[in-house]
């Protein structure tokens, strides 16, 4: 239905895809169940990101971005320490680690942008407040 075998062959090669598909019917059922739960997890994560996009609270978005960054970095460490030991996936982990760090870096850019925007808007508010208070002060003196 979702061309799982074709994607596996495209991503890993024919021999590795055959090894990853399982050798017994029980293994194949476990792998299909695992893939179904992984797909469900991806859907939930996408839905959660969609919901967070509409939250106006910057503190929560900053907290969420820090959590996502930590998740991507920890996933990269998982790949380095555990996935590279699997001979079937041994050549895939460097690309995936680079991808995990790139995704973590994208959240860092989001944090830097939101901090810059927060500081810039705070600076504008201070300037406007200073300008208004200097205009309303008696004898032209700043309060």
* Residue 69 within a domain: yes
Task: Determine the structural domain holding residue 67 and report its residue range.
Answer: 38-91
b (16+ CB within 10 A) / e for 103-128: bbeebeebbeeeeeeeeeeeeeeeee
pLDDT in tens, the chain (143 residues): 567 778 778 877 888 778 777 788 887 887 778 778 877 888 888 888 888 888 888 888 888 889 889 988 988 888 888 777 776 666 778 888 898 899 999 989 988 888 877 777 766 555 555 555 556 555 555 55
pLDDT for residue 7: 76
d(CA 142, CA 27): 77
Pair (59, 97) in one structural domain:
no
Pair (63, 100) in one structural domain:
no
Pair (103, 87) in one structural domain:
no
DSSP 108: H
Pair (115, 101) in one structural domain:
yes
Residue showing tokens 């169940």: 33
């Amino acid at each position: 239905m979702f061309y799982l075998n074709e994607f596996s062959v495209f991503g890993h090669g024919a021999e590795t895809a055959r090894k990853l598909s399982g050798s017994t019917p029980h293994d194949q059922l476990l792998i299909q169940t695992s893939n179904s739960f992984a797909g469900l997890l991806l859907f939930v994560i996408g839905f959660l990101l969609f919901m967070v996009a509409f939250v106006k609270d910057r503190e929560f978005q900053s907290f969420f971005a820090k959590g996502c960054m930590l998740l991507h970095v920890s996933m990269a460490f998982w790949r380095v320490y555990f996935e590279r030991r699997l001979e079937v996936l041994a050549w895939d982990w460097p690309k995936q680690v680079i991808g995990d760090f790139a995704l973590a870096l994208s959240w860092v850019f989001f944090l830097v942008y939101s901090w810059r925007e927060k500081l810039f808007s705070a600076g504008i508010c201070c300037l406007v407040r200073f300008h208004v208070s200097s205009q309303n002060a008696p004898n032209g003196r700043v309060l």
